[in-house]
Chains A and B, each alone.
Chain A
Amino acid sequence: MAKSRKNEGNESVAKDDGAARGEGVVAVTARPKVPAAPKRPSADLARRAAAHVPAGRLAVRKTYKLYVNGAFPRSESGRSYPVTSADGTHLANAALASRKDARDAVQAARKAFGGWSQRTAYNRGQILYRVAEVLEGRRAQFVQEVVDADGVDRSLAESLVSAAIDRWVYYAGWTDKIAQVAGGSNPVSGPYYNHSAPEPTGVVAVVAPQSGPLLGLVSVVAPVIAGGNTAVVVASERAPLAAVSLAEVLATSDLPGGVVNILTGRTAELAPPLAAHADVNALDLTGANDMAAGLEEAAAATLKRVVRPEPAPDWFADPGLSRVTPFLETKTVWHPIGI
């Protein structure tokens, strides 16, 4: 389904500029002079760099914060928690979100829902494709983060990141095709045109898988927003750093603020208020593991749509529309013929 959505239309680059040169009408003298190649500055540059950049320079460390309403706030509680790599090395401190951060995130997602769901499906696809472009540009960073978080070797991490980017493009392609596949016109016995069209459910709370810091996360977030929903994501508790980096990608990809909100912290603290929240319309429990039953029960009070976790999802497998359609509502319109 993936297709290029670049809308810049850069054909002019490839155009032959023979006409501009005059095709031999003017004599050879019209050719511009080729300037002499500049002297290679590397030796000089290296000398100056050595003089100005101290060897023991302190690196600028990143503060891993939440992503709510298009901004990067710390937790309102002011808390953070240490995140370690697979072998126990300290990587960074991530924000430890509270239930009030979850409440704020739902508010932001609700505010963003109107605008995001009413964009044309084509435009949503363009924006999601743009996200994939920016992801590709940050590939090295994500590879490093996957290596750190999961302790996998670099070549496996490379393929995991590639799969994640391709997954994003996959859903970018689906945005304006879902309606044709999941909707359509229905044959009815009566003088009516009868059409069904899928519409987004609303605000979806997503408990991201605990494993698969990037591919797993992308596989649960992209289908939700591709359908026109907005999302509140509880990132993997153990490996949340890639989620924060993904938030940085989303923040710089024309995705309106609030469409995706990412919380890092304890799943057991964040998932229950989201599951019970009356302004959340659907719940993806992929990362809830043994909390799933309780959360599903809490969600029942407000009749949420719930996606139950599979035992061990294979993130490399083709997901089809299995993660898109659960977050769509079917609207059916009966229109009388001949009026």
Chain B
Amino acid sequence: MPDTALAAATTASNTSLRSFLHGLPGVDEVGARARAADLSTRSIKTSAKAQAIDLAIRMVDLTTLEGADTPGKVRALAGKAVHPDPADPSAPRVAAVCVYSDLVAVAVEALAGSGVGVASVATAFPSGRAPLEAKLVDTRRAVADGASEIDMVIDRGAFLAGDYLKVHEEIVAVKEACGSAHLKVILETGELATYDNVRRASWLAMRAGADFIKTSTGKVSPAATLPVTLVMLEAVRDFRAETGRQIGVKPAGGIRTTKDAIKNLVLVNEVAGEDWLDPEWFRLGASSLLNDLLMQRTKLTTGVYPGPDYYTLD
């Protein structure tokens, strides 16, 4: 990929960042769409499907990001995260629960000792329109309350205006505020307009110290489309080849069915490689997806079509 040595491409100025990001090869949009569409026709059945479903469940970041979230709802979600299917204890638990920063303490208490992580959105989610100080306070508070992962949003306005340095410095500052917590950087690809921008934003975030790059907030449509995830998976693959550092990917928003989830897994395997087929490196940000995964799981084990009435709403 980019032959500019990363060390040489200093982040000292906006100009050098700009020349590095614009020096990245352009994305073949038609090709990306066609490849994503082609990979989504793979037929995954029976035992392979069962494994894919269990892996997908383990990758879910069970999310509730509503203005109407209550401590009770977060506790209910935490319960579901640990025992997704009360009728079947063999169903694996999900990777993490994702909540707003003020509800982190509730989630941490409810999930203590369960092995399920607590992710918190921070930095003026979802718009990211707040002064840096406010974003850092938001982040520190979530980390202090016990969040193991922070999902930050980038300043899309600054990115689109070409102020890459500002975006970069914000990520660096938030990463510092995170301490030991993992940092997921939300690119909000639905607002970035082009796949070239998605590739640039991915590289910008990875260079600034992101542990994960995440497609969307879920509040903007389109959210996680397959071609966008493909472009980001290519970015993490190339980044590891270049620097040796592995970055995770998290598509979020619009992934509602088992079919969607399995298409994403196929994409991960074919584009980034097997190393990413692990909850450590790939997550699915979703809320309604989990029920569909559980229903498909039940269908495989019992042979009977299940109904949504038999699963919790949230």
Interface residues of A, Cβ cutoff 8 Å to B? 103, 106, 273, 276-280, 301-302
Contacts and interface: CB of A to CB of B under 8 A. Distances in A.
Most chain B beta-carbon neighbours within 10 Å: one of A279, A280, A301: A279
Nearest to B308: A279
Q: Is the interface of B mostly helix, strand, loop or mixed?
A: loop
A301 B306 CA distance: 11
A279 B309 contact: yes
Contacts of A279: 305-309
A230 to B, nearest CB: 14
A277 B309 CA distance: 12
A280 B310 CA distance: 12
B68 interface: no
Interface of B: 304-310
A273 B306 CA distance: 11
Nearest to A106: B305
A279 B295 CA distance: 11
A103 B306 CA distance: 10
Q: For chain A, what secondary structure do more than half of its interface residues adopt (helix, strand, loop), or is it mixed?
A: loop
Contacts of A302: 307
19 contacts: A103-B305, A106-B305, A273-B304, A273-B305, A276-B305, A277-B304, A277-B305, A277-B307, A278-B304, A278-B305, A278-B306, A278-B309, A278-B310, A279-B305, A279-B306, A279-B307, A279-B309, A301-B304, A302-B307
Contacts of A276: 304-305
A278 B295 CA distance: 10
Contacts of A103: 305
Nearest to A301: B304
| Residue from the set A103, A277, A278 with the largest chain B CB neighbour count within 10 Å | A278
A32 to B, nearest CB: 62
A239 B78 CA distance: 53
Nearest to A107: B305
A113 to B, nearest CB: 12
A103 B308 CA distance: 13
Contacts of B304: 273, 276-278, 301
A160 B307 CA distance: 38
Nearest to A202: B309
A279 B308 CA distance: 7
A301 B309 CA distance: 14
B295 to A, nearest CB: 9
A222 B309 CA distance: 26
A277 B306 CA distance: 6
A273 B307 CA distance: 13
Nearest 9 Cβ contacts at the A-B interface: A279-B307, A278-B307, A277-B305, A276-B304, A278-B306, A103-B305, A278-B310, A273-B305, A278-B305
A261 to B, nearest CB: 15
Nearest to A274: B305
A207 B148 CA distance: 54
Contacts of B307: 277-280, 302
Contacts of B310: 278
Contacts of B306: 278-279
Given A106-B305, A276-B305, A277-B307, 8 more contacts: A103-B305, A273-B305, A277-B304, A277-B305, A278-B307, A278-B309, A279-B306, A279-B308
B34 to A, nearest CB: 24
Nearest to A298: B304
A276 B306 CA distance: 9
Contacts of A277: 304-305, 307
Contacts of A301: 304
A278 B307 CA distance: 5
Contacts of A278: 304-307, 309-310
Nearest to A203: B307
A301 B298 CA distance: 14
Contacts of A280: 307
Nearest to B311: A278
B44 to A, nearest CB: 16
A277 B304 CA distance: 6
Nearest to A279: B307
B294 to A, nearest CB: 12
A303 to B, nearest CB: 11
A279 B299 CA distance: 12
A291 to B, nearest CB: 17
A312 to B, nearest CB: 32
A270 B182 CA distance: 50
Contacts of A273: 304-305
Nearest to B302: A276
A236 B305 CA distance: 23
A278 B306 CA distance: 5
A278 B310 CA distance: 8
Best-buried of B305, B306, B307, B309 by chain A (most CB within 10 Å): B305
B189 to A, nearest CB: 29
A279 B305 CA distance: 8
A301 B304 CA distance: 10
A284 to B, nearest CB: 18
B266 to A, nearest CB: 21
A277 B305 CA distance: 5
A276 B307 CA distance: 10
A304 to B, nearest CB: 11
Nearest to B303: A276
A280 B307 CA distance: 8
Nearest to A280: B307
Best-surrounded residue of B304, B306, B308, B310 (most CB of chain A within 10 A): B304
